[in-house]
Structure 1
Amino acid sequence: MKQMLMHGDGELLQTAIVQDGKLIEFGMERSEHSGLVGNIYKGKVVNVLPGMQAAFVDIGLSKNAFLYVDELLHPNMDKQSERKPDIKQLVRPGQELLVQIMKEPIGGKGARVTTHYALPGRFLVYMPKAGYVGVSKKIGNEQERARLRTAGEELRLEDEGIIMRTAAGEASFEALEADVAQLRRQWRRVAASAGKASAPAEIHREVGLMRRIIRDSLTADINEVWIDDPARFETLKQLLEDMSPPFAGRLSFYTPDGNETMFDAFGITAQLYADFQSSIRLPSGGSLIWDETEALTVIDVNTGKFTGGKDLEDTVFRTNMEAADEIARLLRVRDVGGIIVIDFIDMELEQNRDRVLHRLEHWTKQDRTKCTVVGWTRLGLLEMTRKKARENSAKLNAERCPACGGTGRQPFEAAVPMEKGGLTRSETSVKS
């Protein structure tokens, strides 16, 4: 049983996807702080940096956006020259550009933008200047891939590009054609607005979380869709009828029972609390120690209370396999991006190391966000990456601790005030 749950509370919308009672995806968004990825702006080049092969573009946000040279070249690799041109040959300060956000501002970094425009629909992604047809790698049937590739070539015009999404595998040619027509009209409106606007200006805003979750996450294997917000129920019903008519009959409104919310009733609240801790308990008794920085996530696997099976190697192997399953799930729930380093418990047998690696690869292939499992390092750590486009839910739902600054440790001077009878520095060193 696979369910999609939407919990609304004023400006806040939370969505969860649950499989057999287990949370496998989670997202949240406040309407006043909706995501920026996919937004299109008319910007002005502020500075060109030849040494970085990049430019900074003013798009009207608090920080200038970052534009790398690759994002100025033709999106079709076959049409690019073998040697990249100097970025000064492509843009100049003061030049106005139409750009699309591909990565939100995170920490002290501005947004990353591209001129490879892409408008996602229910079944496909429309790219007005790409000049090729692609098919999602998650569609494994070669006959179906060939059908979709042929359909894409029939549907695209001149330099247009089309990428068939996973959902296209269940769509008729007429549905694909309608999707392309709608996205083509949308692009023409964007181009017309850009011609009239003065930089910096927002030209197109990506849809909100509710429409995005229906467009991107609603797959044929979802049996039920629940929502507990009466103000959003009719909107969701209309969205389903417009975008995925078969799912309209699977939509139900959840009526709260007393003070118990829908997330409480489905066990989501308790799972979220456990899943966003720094120490996560594994079913066998082992644990994961989870530590995130801006660009790097480190996960340490421990046996904990699990004393295992027939020998030490078997105990370690079983704990690592269980950890691989849980890590793949938590990466989706917490929407972690960037570099991920996993310190599995050391295994003696190479075949066990391979099985743990393949287990993690198996689960990450089912992730909608692109993941790359790089492999084992010489120190026995496992490296992988996960595409990072938005601030993850843990950071959106929390504030940095003012006392420790997010380190989990209070500075000694703050813990023992010197001016109020605390130990002096010399006394401290003696005591310690």
Structure 2
Amino acid sequence: MKQVAISAQGGSIHIAFMEDGKLQEWRTQDVGAHAGVGDIYQGRVADVKPGIQSAFVDIGTGQNAYLYVDDTVGVESGGAAKPSIAERVHVGQKVLVQVSKEAMEMKAPKITMRISLQGRYLVYLPTEDSISLSRKITDDTKRKRLHQVISSTVAQGEGCILRTEAAEAEEQTLISELVYLRNRWQDMLRAAEGLRSSGRIFQDAELIEAALRDGLANGMDEVLVEGAATHQQVKAALAAFAPEVQEKLRWYQGKQPLFDFLGVETELIRARDRHVPLKSGGFLVIDRTEAMTVIDVNTGSFTGGGGQQREQAVTATNLEAVTEVARQLRLRDIGGIVIIDFIDMKEQSNKERVISRLKQELTKDPVPSTVLGMTSLGLVEMTRKRVRASLTERLTEPCEACKGRGRVWRVDELFRRLYAEVTALAKSQDAEAVLVDLPPRLLDMIEEWEKAEAVAWPVHVYKRLIPSMNPDEFRIGYVGNREEAERLQSK
């Protein structure tokens, strides 16, 4: 079963993609100034570097974003030579840009002036005069019909890309979606006019809409939503662009937090481990370096009992590992160069089976990847597009105590876990108060959010500072009545 689970517990949206009870992908909506993929900003060009055909744009996040010349728009000269970045933008110029790649720990966010707005059946291109169709639409009659419908609807200077799903869509459905996305763009232009400085004018809804679109494209069977307000938001989104699947929507009202119920929290903790066990007794070891990610496949305790030959046992382990490798790449959001060290196989046919299975499993991942082949040493070379920061970078941060050699939970992720635990206690026990022991960094953030009225606890929470506590943890010290919690807090 394929499920999309959505919760806004703790004030920010979190989405889990599940398949047969296993977590496949984890998406979050960061609070504050974080620039996410798809977000649109009004920026101001801060610097132009003709030597590297690039510009740096202040988008109001505290870190200038990177703009390459190929991602600018302008009148083409008609020649074969690439235009100079200095011909496209200049220092001080206001520009509307969209984040195409999130900031990494050592790299600025990458942006483009070629803005695109995602719909279920098409992608609207407000700044590009072009129409294209998915290559998967192979029927010439359907291609001609779709091109005719859209070409008569788009205005001069705008374009669109028709998705595979558009092949079976009604004409009026396509036109309505195009008009909807065009109106959204006009709203953004008006928002930009009223913005005096650099800042975000659109956040891709935007996270929920994108998740539902991806879920529909992947054949989701169920949408599980925690929280009444979030349930209404998802219900409205489905009514707008996919009313025929509203019966798949479920409002989760269990005593356990939704992600605990689905086992997501356990999977997220495991995603920080180097070792990934396989059912057969084998395991993966995943190591990240500055240049690439290396994945080692080991047989472990799997010997292929029952008289199997070594070649058969090794091939079976490698085929099992392939499925888990593809899942871990998506779950951990690993991008860039990836080297996979499979267990050595002698027969060429078995090597081809492993490569073929890997390519097949990677097609389930919405992020593009390319398998380049297997070397004579049995190393598979591949790349996966780096769209956003890895799961490790999103969930954790360098530990100050060991000067970056280790990592601890990010303070907002730590708060999410605390909030979920407090909520679970409020549902399962007849309590009016909870006493929590907190490290300094978590207490500081909670007090700051409480002052801004950004936190609504389900019960009264008493907080106790423990300076010596590990920055990666918190502790529930008492659950019960307010008088006792207050007494314990003052001790």
User: The TM-score by the shorter chain falls in which range?
Assistant: 0.7 to 0.9
Provide closer, same or farther for how the CA distance between residues 155 and 364 of structure 1 changes in structure 2, counting only shifts above 3 A. farther
Corresponding residue for residue 322 of structure 1: 320
Q: Distance in 1 between matches of 2:23 and 2:290?
A: 25
Corresponding residue for residue 309 of structure 2: 311
Corresponding residue for residue 89 of structure 2: 91
In the TM superposition, what are the counterparts of 1:251-400 in structure 2 within 5 Å?
251-257=249-255, 260-293=256-289, 296-308=292-304, 310-377=308-375, 379-400=377-398
Instruction: Tell me how large the CA RMSD over aligned residues is.
Output: 2.8
Corresponding residue for residue 105 of structure 2: 107
Corresponding residue for residue 218 of structure 1: 216
Of stretches 165-174 and 191-200 in structure 1, the one that deviates more from structure 2 is: 191-200
Q: Distance in 2 between matches of 1:39 and 1:236?
A: 20
Q: Is the 2:341–2:379 contact (alpha carbons within 8 Å) kept by the matching residues of 1? A: yes
State the structure with bigger RCO (CA 8 A, min sep 6), 1 or 2. 1
Query: How far did residue 287 of structure 1 move?
Result: 0.8
Q: Distance in 1 between matches of 2:356 and 2:247?
A: 38
Q: Distance in 1 between matches of 2:138 and 2:113?
A: 30
Render the CA deviation track for 1:368-413: whole Å, top value 9, x for unaligned.
112222223465422222222222333222233334455459xxxx
Corresponding residue for residue 247 of structure 1: 245
Provide closer, same or farther for how the CA distance between residues 304 and 33 of structure 1 changes in structure 2, counting only shifts above 3 A. farther
Unaligned runs of 5+ in 1: 410-432
Unaligned runs of 5+ in 2: 408-491
User: Partner of 2:184: helix, strand, or coil?
Assistant: helix
Q: Distance in 1 between matches of 2:56 and 2:28?
A: 30
Q: Is the 1:290–1:298 contact (alpha carbons within 8 Å) kept by the matching residues of 2? A: yes
Matched, 1:50 2:46: no
Corresponding residue for residue 177 of structure 1: 175
Q: Is the 2:124–2:161 contact (alpha carbons within 8 Å) kept by the matching residues of 1? A: yes
Q: Distance in 2 between matches of 1:148 and 1:375?
A: 37
Provide closer, same or farther for how the CA distance between residues 144 and 380 of structure 1 changes in structure 2, counting only shifts above 3 A. farther
Corresponding residue for residue 66 of structure 2: 66
Q: Is the 2:35–2:103 contact (alpha carbons within 8 Å) kept by the matching residues of 1? A: no
User: Partner of 2:177: helix, strand, or coil?
Assistant: helix
Render the CA deviation track for 1:220-247: whole Å, top value 9, x for unaligned.
7322211122332222222222221122
Query: How far did residue 301 of structure 1 move?
Result: 1.1
| Counterpart amino acid of residue 263 in structure 1 | F
Provide closer, same or farther for how the CA distance between residues 349 and 245 of structure 1 changes in structure 2, counting only shifts above 3 A. same
Render the CA deviation track for 1:331-359: whole Å, top value 9, x for unaligned.
22222222222122222222222221111
Render the CA deviation track for 1:126-164: whole Å, top value 9, x for unaligned.
002322223335557676555544443343232322112
| Counterpart amino acid of residue 253 in structure 1 | W
Corresponding residue for residue 120 of structure 2: 122
| Counterpart amino acid of residue 28 in structure 2 | M
Q: Distance in 1 between matches of 2:356 and 2:223?
A: 32
TM-score, length-normalised on structure 2? 0.74
Q: Is the 2:74–2:88 contact (alpha carbons within 8 Å) kept by the matching residues of 1? A: no
Corresponding residue for residue 424 of structure 2: none
In the TM superposition, what are the counterparts of 1:405-420 in structure 2 within 5 Å?
405=403, 407=405
Q: Is the 2:224–2:249 contact (alpha carbons within 8 Å) kept by the matching residues of 1? A: yes
Provide closer, same or farther for how the CA distance between residues 75 and 272 of structure 1 changes in structure 2, counting only shifts above 3 A. farther
Q: How many residue pairs align between the two structures?
A: 405
Corresponding residue for residue 19 of structure 2: 19
Q: Distance in 1 between matches of 2:204 and 2:165?
A: 20
TM-score, length-normalised on structure 1? 0.84
